[in-house]
Amino acid sequence: MEKGTLYLIPVVLAEGAESKSLTPYLINTLNSINEYIVENEKTARKCLKNAGLTTPQSSLIIHDYSKHNRNVSTSTYLKGLEAGNNLGFMSEAGCPGVADPGADIVAEAHRRNIKVVPLVGPSSILLALMASGFNGQSFAFYGYLPIDKADRDRKIKDLELTSEKLGQTQIFIETPFRNNPFLDTVLKACKPDTRLCIAANITADDEFIKSKSIADWRKEIPDLHKKPAIFLLYRNR
Amino acid sequence: MEKGTLYLIPVVLAEGAESKSLTPYLINTLNSINEYIVENEKTARKCLKNAGLTTPQSSLIIHDYSKHNRNVSTSTYLKGLEAGNNLGFMSEAGCPGVADPGADIVAEAHRRNIKVVPLVGPSSILLALMASGFNGQSFAFYGYLPIDKADRDRKIKDLELTSEKLGQTQIFIETPFRNNPFLDTVLKACKPDTRLCIAANITADDEFIKSKSIADWRKEIPDLHKKPAIFLLYRNR
């Protein structure tokens, strides 16, 4: 029997951003699948509905891949695929497996020789990089920086140095409710002529994306409290 | 007078992949803009038509940002924006400014306090990363590796070491007609248990994405000649 295909399905980054984020092919794929692996069943069902799912929700099989379930073997989720069913994999926002858990499920699919098909959709990392005007031919994403203040400070200075040495754009994120103190740390740690791009609420109506020097940011500090944001540092060689 | 907005417009990666790649919002945006900066006028016009442009092509203002024009100051292209016209910026494939020239135009827009809006669309880097099953919480993209054989060999070994040290996915590309000898070099340079993902013809009907160990790839080497491809290395800590 032929195995099913694992579709990696991006999810909107902002409420109401479906038309900005989803392709017709993605919506058709949703309507052709009845089994999903998701991070949170409730929000995933809402997402599917908003995306344009016409299949009755009661006919869906949903595997909740939430934090407390992660000690379940990934192979549990792949039984349907082995039996020939196509399966959709979604995270809470953006692209599954990128700045999000789930890469282990994809890795397991490759080990089992299951076809993996990534669908086009919104990634805050990619959109911020495009819009930063920084080097898009060499860049690195680090996820969250260390929480300890001294470690974090050292890490930011490290990234600034790496950017200067390699001409590489440095990308990182913070938990939205810690954005303001985090930005403060970045503005204090970096050199005045280093460039910083702040991208917040990407694809929302109040999307904010600006690149300025650290010196210019220090003059006018934006309020990022509770706004999903991404930070990019760049220092020209 | 209010300045225009600079829209960053992704372009399909494969012929006929519009429905997989473009959002309704992107197509509406195309039809609301009449001025573009592009890498190649002829292919850009074809792209716009295939995407669903309904504006007559004769009414478009197209600035050809091709190689021989790059010594023209970027500000030349931004006059329309300064005068209040919205402007679309496209590269030949994928996302403008990512693994492609054009970041300087976006940087100049930021310096002039022009609003920059990135649109969702296909990026071979992001799609390959999602589908690799490798670490998506820490990754780096390097573009092309050195051409000199000894330098390239050293660089690949370097990337393998960096991946192991940082748990970071290492991403790079090659010119399609050099893919086969390049893959040969990668397979010889890396350790047998390092994992390599090869993603070729992304979003095309014959899309090929597979992650395997170097040892397994050595047993069955795919023909990548002239296929747009992206390579990802990963070594678990």
Contact A69, B101 (CB under 8 A): no
Q: Which of B96, B107, B120 minimises the CB distance to A211?
A: B107
Check CB contact of B189 with chain A, cutoff 8 Å.
no
Q: What is the mean pLDDT of residues B5-33?
A: 96
Please say if the pLDDT value at position B76 is more than 90.
no
Query: Does the model's ipTM exceed the 0.90 cut?
Result: yes
Beta-carbon count within 10 A of B30 CB: 23
Check CB contact of A114 with chain B, cutoff 8 Å.
no
What are the residue boundaries of the structural domains of chain A, listed by start?
Answer: 5-118, 124-234
Q: State CA A127 to chain mean position distance.
A: 10
Give SS3 for A88.
strand
Contact A210, A181 (CB under 8 A): no
Q: Which of B95, B142, B211 minimises the CB distance to A126?
A: B95
For position A97, what pLDDT does the model report?
86
Cβ B20–A25 below 8 Å, yes or no? yes
Check CB contact of B203 with chain A, cutoff 8 Å.
yes
Q: Which of A23, A123, A136 minimises the CB distance to B100?
A: A136
Count chain A–chain B contacts defined by CB atoms under 8 A. 164
Condensed to tens digits (0 to 9), the pLDDT of residues A210-225 reads 999 999 999 999 999 9
For position A71, what pLDDT does the model report?
65
For position B236, what pLDDT does the model report?
82
Q: Which of B114, B120, B212 to mutate to test the interface with A (most CBs of A within 10 A)?
A: B120
As beta bridge partners, residue A173 has: A144, A230
| More confidently predicted of A222 and B99 | A222
Cβ B106–A168 below 8 Å, yes or no? no
Residues A5-118: name the CATH superfamily: Tetrapyrrole methylase, N-terminal domain (3.40.1010.10)
H or E element in which residue A57 lies: none
Q: Which pLDDT band, with edges at 50, 70 and 90, does B71 fall under?
A: low
Q: State CA A12 to chain mean position distance.
A: 10
Residues A124-234: name the CATH superfamily: Tetrapyrrole methylase, C-terminal domain (3.30.950.10)
Q: What is the mean pLDDT of residues A186-196?
A: 97
Condensed to tens digits (0 to 9), the pLDDT of residues B192-229 reads 999 999 999 999 999 999 999 999 999 999 999 999 99
CA–CA separation, A231 vs A170, rounded Å?
Answer: 8
Cβ B138–A136 below 8 Å, yes or no? no
Contact A226, A175 (CB under 8 A): no
Please say if the pLDDT value at position B61 is more than 70.
yes
Q: State CA A209 to chain mean position distance.
A: 17
Please say if the pLDDT value at position B146 is more than 70.
yes
Give SS3 for B194.
coil
Helix and strand totals (H; E) in chain B: 9, 10
Q: Which pLDDT band, with edges at 50, 70 and 90, does B68 fall under?
A: low
Sheet holding A35-38, edge to edge: A61-64, A35-38, A87-89, A5-8, A115-118
Contact A179, A227 (CB under 8 A): yes
Contact A9, A26 (CB under 8 A): yes
Please say if the pLDDT value at position A69 is more than 70.
no
Distance linking the first and last C-alpha atoms of chain B: 56
| More confidently predicted of B174 and A76 | B174
Identical topology for domains B5-118 and B124-234: no
All residues of chain B having their beta carbon less than 8 Å from the beta carbon of residue A121 are: 120
Supply the pTM of this predicted model.
0.96
Q: Which of B20, B117, B130 to mutate to test the interface with A (most CBs of A within 10 A)?
A: B130
Q: Write down how long chain B is.
A: 237
CA–CA separation, B162 vs B71, rounded Å?
Answer: 36
As beta bridge partners, residue A233 has: A170, A196
| More confidently predicted of B76 and A96 | A96
Give SS3 for A40.
coil
Q: Which pLDDT band, with edges at 50, 70 and 90, does A36 fall under?
A: very high
